[in-house]
């Protein structure tokens, strides 16, 4: 009996500790008060079938609540984000091979390779065998490719397209792997993983990239004026700081499109809104609002291009939701209370939006791996998954 009480007490104590460790937070934000709400028209379904180019937009940590909060804060409940003009919607289950709650490495590898892998894995399967990515297939088929992020470009999401390492923390190895990927465009933060004075092995990757034909860019002015055939833009030491002189996501994607469209065979471009996830980790609605604005401006640039081009498939989704964000209570006519359930990722499914030829392929409920497999098939670069021997 005494033992039973002791065990019960220990159990209750452990439970209480666990409860205490769980963070949650309520905060409020101002709804957009713009009288004439910005409301870009809905885009139509494409009647074309050929997919020459794929632009894959990943809102890291971007769930339904993040998009809706962004909409309410930026354009108001009657307005519409550019993201919300895409005519096809789907829903994606985000689990990894070892956890129902994925991290960004396994989440991105599901999209890049079309496989489930363990949290932390970059372009390798659960047995740590490298998997071929859609970007690598596109390069093999003669298309041009690019990666854009607002984190370090060596961060988990972009890394999973052009590197193969067993752990996402190996960012020096990831930067070195990029050199062999053949991708024409890398734009984001992460100078410290390339510069000899900041790398632990003093390897001068900056010079190696230059010798391989990349124009190295450090600020927005250099980016705007860039005319190289290959671009390595490293606009912050690590993640972008949102400081003056750094380019916006829209400026990065504009330059990438200018370069990638020169390839008559087509292109694959992945753009990540990396810091939407970081706003979720820090339970910061104002941070989320700024990042949603930067991301949606880039989405506008992408959709304007795709509308004019007609042969570009645009797909937006998230790798997972971050923060367990929900919209709670309208505390006043112009403010809304939100609730963050966690400072980690959650396991709720995420939204997908698509526009352009074959967009209808992305209707319905999908596993994250199916999204990557479909993108490679529709771009006609090969059938994922492929493991290297």
319 appears as a binding residue in the annotation: yes
- CA distances to 15, 63, 199, 314, 374 from 21, in Å: 10, 24, 36, 40, 40
Q: Is 304 annotated as a binding residue?
A: no
Q: How far is CA 192 from CA 149, 170, 205, 241, in A?
A: 15, 13, 10, 14
For residue 231, what are the β-bridge partners? Answer: 185, 215
Stretch that binds Zn ion, among 71-79, 275-283, 331-339, 350-358 (CB under 5 A): 275-283
Q: Which of 177, 254, 277, 321 binds Zn ion (CB under 5 A)?
A: 277
Q: How many residues bind Zn ion (CB under 5 A)?
A: 1
Helix locations, the chain, DSSP H: 2-21, 64-74, 104-113, 134-140, 156-162, 171-181, 205-211, 220-225, 249-260, 275-281, 285-309, 368-378
Whether the CB-CB separation of 183 and 160 falls below 8 Å is answered with no
CB of 341 to Zn ion, least distance (A): 15
Q: How far is the CB of 97 from Zn ion (least distance, A)?
A: 18
Residue nearest to Zn ion (CB): 277
Closer to Zn ion at the Cβ: 108 or 236?
108
Beta carbon nearer to Zn ion, 94 or 248: 94
350-355 and 88-93 strand pairing: antiparallel
The verdict on whether residue 167 carries a ligand-binding annotation is no
CB 55 within 8 A of CB 314: yes
Q: Is 272 annotated as a binding residue?
A: yes
Distance CA 268, CA 313 (A): 10
Does the active-site annotation cover 33?
no
Q: What is the DSSP letter of 264?
A: T
Distance of closest approach, residue 108 Cβ to Zn ion, in angstroms? 11
Q: Looking at 25-33, 158-166, 229-237, 270-278, which segment touches Zn ion (CB under 5 A)? A: 270-278
* Three-state DSSP class for residue 232: strand
Of the two residues 177 and 277, which places its CB atom closer to Zn ion in the complex?
Answer: 277
- Kindly name the residue from 104, 152, 181, 346 that is annotated as catalytic: 104
Whether 204 has a binding-site annotation, put simply, is no
172/277 with CB nearer Zn ion: 277
Shortest reach from residue 104's CB to Zn ion, in Å: 5
In angstroms, what is the minimal distance from the CB of 277 to Zn ion? 4
- Which CB sits closer to Zn ion, 184 or 277? 277
Query: Cα-atom radius of gyration of the chain, to the nearest Å?
Result: 21
Does 281 appear as a known binding residue?
A: yes
Range in contact with Zn ion (rule: CB under 5 A) among 106-114, 221-229, 272-280, 324-332: 272-280
CB-based burial label for 47 (10 Å; 0-12, 13-18, 19+): exposed
Binding flag, residue 291, Zn ion (CB under 5 A): no
Q: Residues at the annotated binding site for Mg(2+)?
A: 60, 155, 157, 272
As annotated, the active-site residues are 104
Annotated binding site: 60, 155, 157, 272, 277, 281, 319-320
Under the rule (CB under 5 A), what is the footprint of Zn ion? 277
């Amino acid at each position: 009996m005494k033992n039973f009480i002791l065990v019960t007490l220990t159990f209750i104590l452990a439970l209480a500790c666990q409860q205490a460790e769980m963070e949650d937070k309520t905060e409020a934000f101002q709804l957009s008060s713009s009288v004439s709400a910005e409301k870009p028209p809905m885009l139509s379904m494409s009647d074309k079938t050929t997919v020459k180019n794929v632009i894959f937009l990943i809102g890291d940590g971007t769930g339904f609540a993040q998009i809706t909060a962004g909409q309410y804060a930026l354009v108001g409940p009657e307005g519409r984000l550019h993201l919300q003009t895409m005519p096809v919607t789907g829903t994606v289950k985000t689990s990894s091979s070892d956890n129902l709650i994925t991290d960004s490495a396994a989440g991105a590898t599901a999209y890049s390779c079309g496989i489930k892998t363990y949290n932390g894995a970059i372009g390798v399967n659960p047995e740590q065998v490298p998997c071929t990515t859609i970007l690598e297939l596109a390069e093999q088929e003669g298309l041009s490719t690019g990666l854009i992020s607002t984190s370090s470009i060596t961060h988990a999401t972009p890394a999973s397209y052009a590197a193969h390492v067993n752990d996402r923390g190996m960012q020096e190895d990831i930067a070195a792997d990029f050199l062999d990927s053949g991708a024409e465009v890398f734009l984001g933060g992460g100078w410290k993983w390339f510069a000899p004075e900041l790398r632990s092995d003093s390897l001068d990757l900056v010079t190696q990239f230059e010798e391989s034909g990349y124009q190295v860019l450090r600020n927005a002015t250099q980016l705007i004026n860039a005319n190289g055939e290959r671009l390595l833009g490293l606009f912050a030491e690590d993640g972008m700081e949102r400081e003056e002189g750094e380019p916006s996501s829209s400026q990065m994607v504009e330059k990438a499109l200018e370069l990638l469209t020169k390839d008559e065979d087509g292109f694959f471009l992945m753009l990540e809104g990396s810091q939407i996830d970081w706003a979720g980790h820090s339970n910061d609605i104002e941070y989320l609002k700024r990042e949603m604005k930067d991301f949606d401006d880039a989405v506008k640039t992408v959709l304007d291009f795709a509308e004019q081009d007609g042969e570009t498939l645009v797909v937006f989704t998230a790798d997972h939701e971050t923060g367990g964000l929900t919209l709670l209570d309208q505390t006043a006519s112009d403010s809304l209370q939100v609730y963050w359930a966690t400072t980690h990722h959650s396991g709720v499914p995420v939204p997908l939006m698509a526009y352009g030829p074959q967009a209808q392929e992305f209707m319905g409920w999908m596993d994250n791996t199916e999204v990557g497999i479909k993108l490679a098939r529709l771009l006609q670069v090969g059938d994922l998954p492929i493991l290297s021997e």
